[in-house]
């Protein structure tokens, strides 16, 4: 299939690009490089051995996106292009409403106008808020604690309204848990701007000597070692999950919502220890107060993903840390 990847130069988009090529699809990247580097394109070309199809522009540019879908005869869209920094969304909600909600609306309009109604959407486990228990199944109640999370929830609702209005829409909503790791080549990986918000890139920058110490946000949670527990998933497994979702949509023709996680929870200290082993470096930590909005535990039930997509994560925490370290140590300043 010919597939448009909005935000395809970003962290998850670039890994999914390669997984799609391996599965015999033809991906076309759409990116405005507002939170990614054009240098990723050369790397993708090097790894895949194929020229990279990329269109530079914004997903909200309706006539341009419409023309692009027609010009490339796009059959399905995977929509990664969105902002995802929680703190920034609290400080600048309009930036998030504009990019995430208006961007999504314009993309859907372009798809509707061109009769291209197959979509894979990047949602997040953030829509579960503070879950009453773990593991989390897809029918758990949804909530939000910040504008970023709210945009994911609103888009999920927009998509279900759209499916009701016209059954020709085939939509896969993928609720990611905590994507980490990098391509085993060490050529592409996560390259956050400024101080990383997320745990794994922060740990990697401490290990490589860019930052002195990791602040562990809270050690008094009701978890085995008191630190927060999350479902870290290797980005290569996540990329494979997108291919499985796309193929399931095409084969069964029915919309669905599914968790993409491993079903296994690890604490902050588990991650630190695994990273120290993978990197053979010490990662100094200090305990700090809890971060606002954090939950004690969050990990997925993976039963629906296995039953529906025939997909499950294969790579363990050691592989996540080893690949993350290969990327970080080979590219201490990311793509710049
Ligand atoms: C975060 C967002 C979530 C978003 C996801 C996107 C919050 C509250 N949640 O998930 O909405 O969908 O990123 O990638 O921001 N930690 C530290 N020190 C650090 C960084 C993190 O101790 O410097 C801890 C956190 O308290 C948490 C764990 O590490 O227990 C994972 O944090 P993080 O990687 O930011 O992911 P989430 O908070 O799960």
Distance 157 CA to ligand 1 centre (A): 24
For 161-206, the pLDDT digits (tens) are 999 999 999 999 999 999 999 999 999 999 999 999 999 999 999 9
Q: Which residues of 138-164 are buried (b: 16+ CB within 10 A; e: fewer)?
A: bebebebbbbbbbbbbbbbebbeebbe
303 assigned to some structural domain = no
Distance 288 CA to ligand 1 centre (A): 14
Rounded mean pLDDT of 212-232?
Answer: 98
Q: Find the catalytic residue in 11, 96, 148, 299.
A: 148
pLDDT at 216 (0 to 100): 98
124 lines ligand 1 (CB under 6 A): yes
∠ CA(313), CA(108), CA(5), 5° rounding?
Answer: 45
Best mutation site among 13, 80, 86, 213 for ligand 1, i.e. most ligand atoms within 8 A of its Cβ?
Answer: 86
C-alpha distances in angstroms, 222 versus 50, 145, 182, 219? 49, 20, 31, 9
74 assigned to some structural domain = yes
For 304-315, the pLDDT digits (tens) are 999 999 999 999
Could you tell me the pLDDT band of residue 335, with boundaries at 50, 70 and 90? Answer: very high
Contacts of residue 78, Cβ cutoff 8 Å, sequence gap at least 6? 3, 4, 5, 6, 8, 13, 16, 119, 120, 122, 242, 246
Of all protein residues, the one whose alpha carbon is nearest to atom 16 of ligand 1 is: 199
Of all protein residues, the one whose alpha carbon is nearest to atom 22 of ligand 1 is: 216
275 assigned to some structural domain = no
Could you tell me the pLDDT band of residue 268, with boundaries at 50, 70 and 90? Answer: very high
What residues make up the domain containing 173? Answer: 2-180+232-262
Q: Is 96 marked active-site?
A: no
Of all protein residues, the one whose alpha carbon is nearest to atom 13 of ligand 1 is: 198
| Strands of the sheet with 266-267, listed across from one edge | 266-267, 229-230, 297-298
Structural domain total, the chain: 1
Best mutation site among 156, 174, 199 for ligand 1, i.e. most ligand atoms within 8 A of its Cβ?
Answer: 199
Of all protein residues, the one whose alpha carbon is nearest to atom 35 of ligand 1 is: 198
305 assigned to some structural domain = no
pLDDT at 40 (0 to 100): 98
Of all protein residues, the one whose alpha carbon is nearest to atom 38 of ligand 1 is: 294
For 91-126, the pLDDT digits (tens) are 999 999 999 999 999 999 999 999 999 999 999 999
Rounded mean pLDDT of 25-35?
Answer: 97
Contacts of residue 1, Cβ cutoff 8 Å, sequence gap at least 6? 25, 26, 75, 76, 246, 250
For 39-69, the pLDDT digits (tens) are 999 999 999 999 999 999 999 999 999 999 9
pLDDT at 289 (0 to 100): 98
100 assigned to some structural domain = yes
How does the average pLDDT of the chain come out, rounded? 97
Q: What is the DSSP string of 170-230?
A: EEEEEEE-EEE---TTSSS----SSS--SHHHHHHHHHTTSSS-EEEE-S-SSSTTSS-EE
Distance 152 CA to ligand 1 centre (A): 16
280 assigned to some structural domain = no
Distance 239 CA to ligand 1 centre (A): 20
CATH code, 99: 3.40.50.720
81 assigned to some structural domain = yes
User: pTM value?
Assistant: 0.98
238 lines ligand 1 (CB under 6 A): no
152 assigned to some structural domain = yes
């Amino acid at each position: 299939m010919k597939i448009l990847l909005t935000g395809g130069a970003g962290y998850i988009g670039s890994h999914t690009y390669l997984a799609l090529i391996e599965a015999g699809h033809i991906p076309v990247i759409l990116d405005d490089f507002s939170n990614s580097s054009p240098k990723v394109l050369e790397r993708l070309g090097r790894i895949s051995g194929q020229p990279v199809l990329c269109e530079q522009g914004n997903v909200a540019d309706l006539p341009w996106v419409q023309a692009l879908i027609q010009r490339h005869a796009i059959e399905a869209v995977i929509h990664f292009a969105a902002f995802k920094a929680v703190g920034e969304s609290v400080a600048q909600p309009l930036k998030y409403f504009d990019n995430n909600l208006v961007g999504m609306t314009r993309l859907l309009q372009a798809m509707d106008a061109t009769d291209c109604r197959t979509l894979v959407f990047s949602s997040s486990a953030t829509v579960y808020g503070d879950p009453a228990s773990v593991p989390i199944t897809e029918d758990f109640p949804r909530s939000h604690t910040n504008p970023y999370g709210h945009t994911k929830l609103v888009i999920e609702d927009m998509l279900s309204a759209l499916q009701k209005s016209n059954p020709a829409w085939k939509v896969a909503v993928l609720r990611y848990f905590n994507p980490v790791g990098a391509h085993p080549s060490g050529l592409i990986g996560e390259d956050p701007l400024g101080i990383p918000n997320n745990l794994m890139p922060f740990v990697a920058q401490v290990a490589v000597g860019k930052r002195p110490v990791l602040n562990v946000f809270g050690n008094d949670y009701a978890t085995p070692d008191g630190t927060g527990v999350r479902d870290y998933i290797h980005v290569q497994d996540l990329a494979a999950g997108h291919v499985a979702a796309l193929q399931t949509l095409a084969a069964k023709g029915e919309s669905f919502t599914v968790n993409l996680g491993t079903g296994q929870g690890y604490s902050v200290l588990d991650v630190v220890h695994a990273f120290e082993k993978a990197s053979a470096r010490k990662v100094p930590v200090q305990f700090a107060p809890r971060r606002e909005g954090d939950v004690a535990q969050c990990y997925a039930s993976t039963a629906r993903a296995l039953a529906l997509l025939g997909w499950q994560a294969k790579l363990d925490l050691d592989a996540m840390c080893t690949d993350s370290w290969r990327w970080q140590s080979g590219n201490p300043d990311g793509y710049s």
